Amino acid sequence: MSSGQESVFSEYETDTSQTSKLLRKFKETPFVPIGMAGFAAVVGYGLYRLKHRGDMKMSLHLIHMRVAAQGFVVGAITCGVLYSMFREYVVKPKE
């Protein structure tokens, strides 16, 4: 790269701390961290309920937890897509 060219990733190079990167990413796509947190919550709840599942089979319990976690993530992705479409097509002024 010659000295006269500006770096392609200049906006990313100035933001070096992990916290500032995480906050910037959360502002750009807020439903991704929400989906990840929901997935972790469902997994944590499933592990907690694993101890008190009663006479339910282990495989059935795991299937229910997998479906709940996937449903939460798909719901968060869907909300994120709808939010970005709303922000781009409805809120953005027409040129």
The per-residue pLDDT for range 6-40, each reduced to its tens digit, is: 555 555 555 478 888 778 877 877 777 787 888 88
Q: What is the pLDDT of residue 95?
A: 61
Q: Using CA atoms, how far apart are residues 71 and 77, in angstroms rounded to an integer?
A: 10
pLDDT at 55: 84
The predicted-structure confidence for 52-81, as pLDDT tens digits, reads as follows 878 888 889 889 888 988 888 888 889 888
Backbone φ and ψ of 51, nearest 5°:
-70, -35
HSE, side-chain direction, 13 A CA sphere, residue 72: 17
CA 87 from centre of chain = 18
Of the given ranges (28-32, 43-47, 80-84), which has the lowest mean pLDDT?
28-32
What are the tokens at 63?
A: 């299937």
Q: Residue 13 contacts by C-beta under 8 Å, 6 or more apart in sequence?
A: 7
Q: What is the pLDDT of residue 8?
A: 56
The pLDDT of residue 67 is 92
- What is this structure's pTM? 0.60
